[in-house]
Amino acid sequence: MEHRADEMMTVAAARELRDGEVCFVGIGLPSTAANLARGMHAPAVVLIYESGTIGSKPTRLPLSIGDGDLAETADSVVSVPEIFNYWLQGGRIDVGFLGAAQIDRHGNLNSTVIGAYDEPKVRLPGAGGAPEIAAQARRVITIIRQSPRSFVGELDFKSSLGARDQVVITDLGVLRKGSDPAADPLRSAAPGGSDPRGELVLEALHPGVVLEQAREATGWDLKVADDLRTTDPPTERELALLRELRER
């Protein structure tokens, strides 16, 4: 089956989620990918939305993090202070699943502003739950389209710090951070936490994408793994479920 680049991106992001993990989900592409994973290989994944719904099993993709379906299908619904304090800060989240407008080589994210803070070119929505999700989940999956505007040498604003264990899924490929333990002594420490020093390494390109495209879409000198892979294309089942989810 033919697929579009953003479908490959969503499928590749869904594959990163493991069955049974507890995942704090951002709205939009992260939520789409997490629900695709739940319908494919990860039926026991626990989806937590920042509105306070724990174990949501939405029947259709929510438009907001607080759609009624998320509460109706949840194992438990708690207050907003509780979701952030007891569940996220309490260390109960395996994976944070985030989007952003800009990312840098260390996986730091900008979701606040393009241009100067006081004289913005584009005022973005802001940090929301991301700073604490990025810092307190054991690992972070970031989903973001790759272009010179989004993959920047210097962020206009650092809303959230790059995580020690972070994978970045784009429409061109897959980048992972901290894959070389020797280069990052913090790797041996407890899981989770921020690491503003580690660097993203391109480990896979999606089918049909050439390395030059990924380099041109990156605003820094992109590190590439020695054993650069090609992502498996979406299966018929993955594509069919993704399209069905979007139409529901």
Does 191 bind other proteins (CB under 8 A)? Our answer is no
Instruction: Name which position in 20, 43, 59, 63 contacts other proteins (CB under 8 A).
Output: 63
Tokens standing for residue 66: 């607080």
Q: Which is nearer to other proteins, 52 or 234 (CB)?
A: 52
**In whole angstroms, how close is the CB of 155 to other proteins at the nearest point?**
8
Q: Of all helices (H) and strands (E), which one includes residue 134?
A: helix 130-136
Instruction: Burial-class residue 237 by CB neighbours within 10 Å (0-12, 13-18, 19+).
Output: exposed
In sequence order, the β-bridge partners of residue 49 are 25, 53
For the packed helices 236-247 and 5-16, what is the interaxial angle rounded to 10 degrees?
100
Q: Which amino acids are annotated catalytic?
A: 50
Instruction: Name which position in 24, 151, 157, 179 contacts other proteins (CB under 8 A).
Output: 157
**Per-residue x/- track, 205-244, other proteins (CB under 8 A):** ----------------------------------------
Q: Which is nearer to other proteins, 56 or 231 (CB)?
A: 56
Secondary structure (3-state) at 8: helix
Tokens standing for residue 46: 């626990």
The end-to-end CA distance of the chain, in Å, is 20
Tokens standing for residue 194: 């921020």
Pairing state between β 113-115 and 173-177: unpaired
Instruction: Name which position in 1, 20, 43, 85 contacts other proteins (CB under 8 A).
Output: 85
Q: Which is nearer to other proteins, 195 or 238 (CB)?
A: 195
Instruction: Name which position in 9, 13, 23, 27 contacts other proteins (CB under 8 A).
Output: 27
Q: Which residues bind other proteins (CB under 8 A)?
A: 27-28, 50-53, 62-68, 70-71, 77-81, 84-85, 88-89, 112, 117, 120-132, 135-136, 157-161, 194, 196
